[in-house]
């Protein structure tokens, strides 16, 4: 026989209806998106200047922003917002201009920055600590 809830006790998080986020949460996500864009532009300029160190510094800055955003908002939305701003700006900066100017040369450093940055963004957005429901532990005896 299965146990059914009788309406007593807290409703599980996944069973609650969706609601719109607060204005402060939307503003925080927008700010993290803009910070991700700034980190993307800075990383684009720093990574070719000092090749091994600049690349590591740019990727560490992105990882720090994504994880910091996730911890600040206590959800994965913070990491995803920062990563979205970074990815959008870096992808837009890969395009060359009609005059022939470009920011990314065809070298190993540029490809490591692009692919490594996207990998860091995905890892931070998926592995960031998400919101946990409050309540009793799921396992018995803990």
pLDDT in tens, 67-95: 999 888 888 888 999 999 999 998 888 87
Give the mean pLDDT of the chain. Answer: 81
> How far is it, in rounded angstroms, from Cα 140 to Cα 107?
55
Q: What does the pLDDT average to over 16-42? A: 89
Residue found under tokens 């995803």 = 80
Rounded-to-integer distance, Cα 113 and Cα 47, Å = 7
What are the C-alpha distances in Å from 63 to residues 23, 48, 60, 116, 137?
26, 19, 5, 11, 31
Arithmetic mean of pLDDT, 17-38: 89
């Amino acid at each position: 026989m299965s146990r059914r809830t009788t309406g007593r006790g807290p409703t599980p998080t996944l069973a609650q209806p969706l609601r719109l986020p607060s204005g402060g949460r939307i503003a925080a996500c927008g700010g993290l998106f803009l910070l991700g864009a700034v980190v993307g532009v800075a990383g684009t300029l720093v990574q070719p200047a000092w090749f091994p160190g600049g690349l590591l510094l740019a990727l560490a800055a992105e990882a720090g922003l994504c994880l910091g955003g996730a911890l600040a908002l206590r959800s994965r939305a913070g990491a995803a917002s920062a990563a979205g701003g970074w990815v959008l700006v870096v992808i837009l900066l890969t395009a060359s201009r009609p005059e022939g100017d470009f920011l990314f040369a065809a070298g190993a450093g540029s490809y490591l920055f692009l692919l490594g940055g996207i990998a860091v963004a995905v890892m931070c957005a998926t592995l960031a600590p998400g919101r946990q429901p409050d309540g009793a532990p799921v396992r018995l005896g803990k």
